[in-house]
Structure 1
Amino acid sequence: MHTPSPSRYSNPALYQRCGRSGLKLPRLSLGLWHNFGDITPHADSRALVLRAFDLGITHFDIANNYGPPVGAAERCFGRILREDLAAHRDELIISTKAGYYGWDGPYGDFGSRKFLLASLDQSLRRLGLDYVDIFYHHRPDPETPLEESMGALAHAVRSGKALYVALSNYNPDQTARAAAILRDLGTPCLLHQPKYHMFDRTVENGLLDVLAREGIGCIPFCPLAQGLLTDRYLDGIPADSRAAHDPRFLKPEHITEAKVVQIRALHALAQARGQSLAQMALAWVLRQPAVTTALIGASKVRQIEDNLGALENPRFTAGELAQIDAILAG
């Protein structure tokens, strides 16, 4: 059983209220998309979770399909909860999702009531929990009425299997419609998880405005662009990088010479600010008023430690923001 650091809550500024809810989340949350499947040694995954908790990161984000294989990340985290953090369950915010492939057949994907609620039950068994704190619909389903998907989320709360509900990958119009349905059902949407980083600013074209208007928090995923916004790619593609050995998420052909030039220019600006590129990229995302927390991934403990340094210099001058825009436009 792990004994957490007694200083883990020494920085109250680490936590921010999520939208118009009563819930506070840490400014950085740990995602279990990578490095928590069966191909990763359990000791490595355990070290990431426990170090994050010792540093005050209380929010851990999972999904039914994270692995590989499907469900492996939930089983891994469930073991960590059981063996190390069982006494600290009420200090944790645990989220999971359904919306991507869960199992074969017509009921194991997308957004039907059947799939969402069955997937949640499977997730709870893998996690060894009676409830999760946040349950997401992971992506919109164009073939299922939105009322059905949102009704399933609301039912999860009414049944005591989730405390809050959330959305991911919904566009602005879909988000506004879903939020209205959930509000009418008495289970307002807590959080939205879109992709957002310096190289992908789609959320600035309306989604952030919807979230601010609706009082929904925002938790961007991939704020470091799958590692591009770190010092890993300053000289091209390292042999041990994700782009070199796992191109499912970061394809080598996307790392062009022009992109490397941009990364180097951003790196130079980050150094002038006294930050690593990763720290500046996180601070840049967190500067948005609608953003409650940024979802980080990690393969090494030192990456979590470095990422938290983003909170030490969170503000940008107008000149710095203009310089970033100019770099990205180039």
Structure 2
Amino acid sequence: MTTRFTRRAALAGAGLLPAGLALPALAQPAWPTRPVRIVVPFAPGGSVDTMARAIATRMAERTGQTVTVENRAGANGTVGGIGVSQSAPDGYTLLVSASVQTIARLVMRAPGYDPLTDLKPVARVGEGPCLMAINPSRPQTTMAEMAAAIRANPREWSAGVSALGSAGHLASIEFVRQIGADVTFVPYRGTAPILVDLLGGRLGFNTDPMLAMLPPVRAGSLRGIALTAPQRSPAAPEIPTTAEAGFASVDSHSWWAIWGPPRLPEGIIAQINAQVEAIMGEEAIRNRLTGLGIVPLFQAGAALDSYIARDFDKAQTLLRLARVEPE
């Protein structure tokens, strides 16, 4: 699926505030002077897609250039990732994805590339807890009740996996590991198709970023069980946390970032980040994302590189404890 955001479309969309004063020109070559393509390596409708489209809309409005969002789902995010890694390092093909993008070699035998070396981190733009939810036709309303039901009949409690090694997958792994259950994990191409089966009663539960899970919970289509965080979220203060339920180690946050090809020049990165930092600082964007349970932020450079390395090590440790082997 491909969607284009032009300046005119951006002005008409989503009620975002108009751009502020133009940023000062940075080192040449100027960016952007033609359309920009943002690749989302998951299906439309999930948390990554939502984040990418929020950024694309404002980037198009601010720069006057068309910004295309292209969904290239498949192979745990590697289809889109490989495509961006092989693109021209000119800033006109970028990847927006979640934390799962970095751990391809931990969950796949032959991912076809290593995102730690074959993609260039540009900026981290947000983070947020995951939300565990079930179909409201089930009688359970708490994690304790869920745990008891899963122990009693694990075959009725298959878990959706939007991407192997994602924050939601890691949280679900830790939960079932703690309760000593043998649950079937069912992989999907993103959160959106999981929601179809969860709403249809074909899955037991799902844990995924709050950004994607909160809307159906608010609509009453799903029942929110717990946030994978130590503290409640102002976006949904009525939903308890895993810590409150006695599962403090089920503490998993997803984060979202922008990547480019590995040889993307620092001068181009600086110009992209000038736009991204301004966008993530806008009150309308911050209010919109905060309302979905996401903490908007901007992190780049050496601090971002260090953060990714630490997060990779944490995921690797948990996957090893759960004896998850690359598939």
Does the pair score TM above 0.5? no
More helix by share: 1
More strand by share: 2
